[in-house]
Chain A
Amino acid sequence: MKEKLVEILAEYKNVDPSEIKTDAPFTELGLDSLDVAELVMQIEDELGVTLEMSVKYNTIDKLAAYIEEHS
């Protein structure tokens, strides 16, 4: 799951997946709230899951754990 999220984020930011730190808050990865909303919607579309944008899932690690727990 984590790898898939990294892939989606890397594509969104147009960077190499190796540059994405999975424990870094999205803000540190250069994403503002509009970017996070777009990213969450792309993840929903690609993975067929339902997510809520929340400060509780502000890293790839936390978001992946949430998806795994709820799918």
Chain B
Amino acid sequence: MDDRKRLEELNTLLVDTFDAVMQVEEKSLRHVGGGELSIAEFHTLECIGKGEDNRRTVGEIAEALEVTVPTVTVCVGKLVKKGYVTKTRSEKDARVAIIELTREGRKMNRLHRYFHEQMLLAVQDEFSEEEMEYLIRCLRRLNGFFEDKL
């Protein structure tokens, strides 16, 4: 395979793999969440769940997800209405909103993690142990390359 063809294939593989992972995740999570939660909402729940005691401020969520505060505010508003998070004012500073996962929110977070575990185990089944080691090494380098470009 000549250089140009190889680069074309690499480009197609990177873009298609990324798209496919996103589509598989969206399809599975839509099933898990009964169609009620978007991928962005699942990721917001995941982000809140990483906070101490399953709670975070709007600013912390925006920073972690690298989105604007108004974007988080809209998303959190939807999640409050759906019953997956609660929004209260900080006792220390009333200007700060504390977002906390409800029981249902924590349940969705578990299902999200479970989906990732299932997906990775299925991927692992496709490769030998040696191939997996090599794949991880290559992906680590690829990830490092793109991280450096940010």
Q: Which residues of A contact B (CB under 8 A)?
A: 33-34, 36-38, 40-41, 52-55
Given A33-B32, A41-B103, A55-B117 contact (CB < 8 Å): yes
Seed contacts A41-B106, A53-B110, A55-B114; 5 additional CB < 8 Å A-B pairs: A33-B114, A37-B114, A40-B110, A53-B111, A53-B113
Specify the main secondary structure of chain A where it touches its partner: helix
Q: Is the CB of A34 within 8 A of B111?
A: yes
User: Can you report 12 residue pairs joining A to B where beta carbons are below 8 Å apart?
Assistant: A33-B32, A33-B111, A33-B114, A37-B111, A40-B110, A41-B103, A41-B106, A52-B113, A53-B110, A54-B114, A54-B117, A55-B121
Q: Which residues of B contact A (CB under 8 A)?
A: 32, 103, 106-107, 110-111, 113-114, 117-118, 121
A70 to B131, CA, bound (A): 32
Given A41-B103, A41-B106, A34-B113 contact (CB < 8 Å): no
Specify the main secondary structure of chain B where it touches its partner: helix
A33 to B106, CA, bound (A): 14
Q: Is the CB of B32 within 8 A of A34?
A: yes
User: Nearest 10 pairs between A and B by C-beta?
Assistant: A53-B110, A53-B114, A37-B110, A37-B107, A37-B111, A33-B111, A54-B117, A55-B118, A33-B114, A55-B117
User: Nearest residue in B to A41 (C-beta to C-beta)?
Assistant: B107
Q: Which residues of B contact A54 (CB under 8 A)?
A: 114, 117
User: Nearest residue in A to B31 (C-beta to C-beta)?
Assistant: A33
A36 to B118, CA, bound (A): 14
Q: Which residues of A contact B106 (CB under 8 A)?
A: 41
